[in-house]
């Protein structure tokens, strides 16, 4: 399919091009670093070759979220966002950007998002899970009350918020001890991100701010498959579903969430997600440079869905959600 739009596509600046969040063997890291720091050469020719009209660019992970000092986090986020804006300016027909945000301080995060949207023309934000705040051992999640003014700003600016994975802190990763192969995209990323998304839903955030749009990758981090059981687990046990939110998790998932195909090029999972969310809330993505453009595109272009759904998932839904113009 020509004209695809891809949404979870990463770049790095010098300060974030470090091999620490999800360590790779040196040879692999050299390749990834090359891919992350290129925008207009290899990336663009792959897009041409595989029918990707546009990428929404974002920073790599965990980047800003792993800088405990709020002022320093803000400084790196601003630098990354200025760099992103510069890349978009060179080819606005092929690249747009999602903002990195210093979530360590909700007020700074709201201010930076407003700058990115209003002054730099960004299409939304992409944040790498919880933030370390004050010290490296503290993980702060965005369902907490101090983030409500931030979410009000996101709703007012009317842009999507992409909740991207990161690994749990070592103190929260004891279950993986001796099994480090389960960290990163194999399992821990999805677990971490799904729980964060459920925390947002259960907190009542979407009752207070019903127009928020959260995007999650990897065909929903296993949530579509889990949604029935989450809402139905032991329905006869009183108080089991005792959360502040007013509705079922499925209600929020189908009203406030969108998912992408990033790194999950698997037709049964896509069909399941389509049954739970419908074809209007699913969007094509690659997850470059951690996944290959040819793997994503060859699978998507040939997978067994209708041409109408392929067009929606490949292009139309992203154009609408990120206000990229009408065809």
Closest approach, Cβ 290 to ligand GRE, in A, equals 4
In angstroms, how far apart are the furthest CA atoms of the chain? Answer: 59
**Binds 4, which of Zn ion, ligand GRE, none (CB < 5 to 8 A, cut-off by type)?**
none
Q: Looking at beta carbons only, is 22 or 256 nearer to ligand GRE?
A: 22
Closest approach, Cβ 24 to ligand GRE, in A, equals 7
Question: In this structure, are residues 82 and 116 in contact, taking their beta carbons and an 8 Å threshold?
Answer: no
Name which of 80, 39, 78 is nearest 59 in CA terms: 80
In angstroms, rounded to a whole number, what is the distance separating the alpha carbons of residues 109 and 111?
5
Name which of 175, 177, 161, 167 is nearest 257 in CA terms: 161
- String of DSSP letters for 232-258: HTTTTSTTTT--S-SS-HHHHHHHHEE
**Binds 192, which of ligand GRE, Zn ion, none (CB < 5 to 8 A, cut-off by type)?**
none
Hey, how many other C-beta atoms are within 10 angstroms of the C-beta on 23? 14
Q: Looking at beta carbons only, is 185 or 224 nearer to Zn ion?
A: 185
Q: Looking at beta carbons only, is 60 or 213 nearer to ligand GRE?
A: 60
Q: Looking at beta carbons only, is 28 or 107 nearer to ligand GRE?
A: 28
Name which of 281, 286, 308, 309 is nearest 296 in CA terms: 286
Closest approach, Cβ 2 to ligand GRE, in A, equals 25
Closest approach, Cβ 60 to ligand GRE, in A, equals 6
Active site residue ranges: 287
Which residue has the closest beta carbon to Zn ion? Answer: 287
**Binds 143, which of ligand GRE, Zn ion, none (CB < 5 to 8 A, cut-off by type)?**
none
Q: Does 112 bind Zn ion (CB under 5 A)?
A: no
HSE, side-chain direction, 13 A CA sphere, residue 286: 29
Closest approach, Cβ 32 to ligand GRE, in A, equals 8
**Binds 22, which of ligand GRE, Zn ion, none (CB < 5 to 8 A, cut-off by type)?**
ligand GRE
Cβ contacts of residue 125 below 8 Å, gap of 6+? Answer: 98, 99, 100, 101, 113, 116, 154, 159, 160, 161, 162
Structure tokens at 64: 């800003």
Applying CB under 5 A, the site for Zn ion has a residue count of: 2
Among the listed residues 112, 143, 287, 291, the single contact to Zn ion using CB under 5 A: 287
Hey, how many other C-beta atoms are within 10 angstroms of the C-beta on 31? 11
**Binds 154, which of ligand GRE, Zn ion, none (CB < 5 to 8 A, cut-off by type)?**
none
Name which of 55, 80, 87 is nearest 65 in CA terms: 80
In angstroms, rounded to a whole number, what is the distance separating the alpha carbons of residues 59 and 51?
23
**Binds 258, which of Zn ion, ligand GRE, none (CB < 5 to 8 A, cut-off by type)?**
none
In angstroms, rounded to a whole number, what is the distance separating the alpha carbons of residues 161 and 136?
24
Q: Looking at beta carbons only, is 10 or 123 nearer to ligand GRE?
A: 10
Q: Looking at beta carbons only, is 263 or 314 nearer to Zn ion?
A: 263
The partner residues of 5 in beta bridges, in order of sequence, read 54
Q: Which chain residues interact with ligand GRE by CB under 6 A? A: 10, 22, 60-61, 165, 184-185, 263, 287, 290
In angstroms, rounded to a whole number, what is the distance separating the alpha carbons of residues 208 and 149?
11
Going residue by residue from 6 to 35, which x/- string records binding to Zn ion, judged by CB under 5 A? --x---------------------------
Closest approach, Cβ 10 to Zn ion, in A, equals 6
Question: In this structure, are residues 166 and 192 in contact, taking their beta carbons and an 8 Å threshold?
Answer: yes
| Residues within the interface to Zn ion (CB under 5 A) | 8, 287
């Amino acid at each position: 399919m020509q004209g695809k739009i891809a949404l979870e596509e990463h770049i790095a600046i010098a300060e974030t091009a470090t091999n620490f969040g999800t360590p790779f063997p040196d040879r692999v890291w050299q390749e990834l670093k090359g891919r992350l720091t290129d925008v207009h050469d290899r990336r663009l020719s792959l897009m041409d070759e595989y029918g990707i009209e546009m990428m929404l660019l974002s920073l790599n992970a965990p980047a800003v979220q792993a800088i405990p000092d709020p002022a320093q986090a803000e400084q790196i986020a601003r630098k990354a966002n200025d760099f992103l804006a510069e890349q978009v300016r060179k080819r606005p027909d092929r690249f747009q950007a999602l903002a990195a945000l210093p979530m360590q301080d909700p007020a700074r995060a709201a201010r930076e998002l407003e700058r990115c949207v209003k002054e730099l023309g960004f299409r939304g934000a992409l944040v790498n899970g919880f933030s370390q705040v004050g010290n490296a051992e503290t993980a702060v999640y965005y369902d907490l009350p101090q983030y409500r003014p931030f979410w009000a700003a996101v709703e007012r600016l009317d842009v999507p918020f992409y909740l991207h994975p990161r690994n749990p802190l070592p103190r929260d990763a004891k279950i993986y001890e001796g099994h480090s192969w389960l960290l990163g995209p194999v399992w821990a990323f999805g677990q971490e991100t799904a729980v964060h998304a459920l925390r947002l839903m259960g907190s009542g955030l979407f009752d207070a701010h019903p127009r928020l749009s959260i995007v999650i990758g990897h065909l929903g981090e296993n949530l579509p498959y889990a949604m029935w059981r989450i809402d139905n687990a032991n329905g006869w046990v009183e108080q089991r579903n005792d959360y502040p939110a007013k509705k079922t998790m499925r209600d929020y998932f189908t009203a406030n969430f969108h998912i992408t195909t990033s790194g999950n090029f698997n037709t049964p999972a896509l069909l399941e997600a389509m049954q739970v969310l419908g074809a209007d809330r699913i969007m094509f993505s690659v997850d470059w440079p951690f996944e290959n453009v040819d793997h994503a595109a060859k699978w998507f272009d040939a997978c067994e869905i209708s041409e109408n759904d392929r067009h929606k998932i490949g292009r139309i839904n992203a154009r609408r959600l990120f206000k990229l113009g009408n065809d």
